[in-house]
Amino acid sequence: MKKSIGQLIDDLSIANIKIWHLQDIVSAETDDKKVAKAAKQIIVENTYRCKLVRTVDQVLGQAPSYSEVKLFHDLQ
| Closest C-alpha among 23, 26, 28, 29 to residue 49 | 23
Full-model pTM: 0.76
Tell me which H or E stretch contains 8. helix 5-28
**What is the reported pLDDT for 1?**
78
Torsion angle of C-alpha atoms 20, 22, 29, 27, degrees rounded to 10: -40
**What is the reported pLDDT for 74?**
65
Q: How far is CA 14 from the centre of its chain?
A: 9
More confident residue, 24 or 64: 24
Reported as a single tens digit per residue, the pLDDT across 5-53 is: 999 999 999 999 999 999 999 999 999 999 999 999 999 999 999 999 9
Q: How far is CA 53 from the centre of its chain?
A: 9
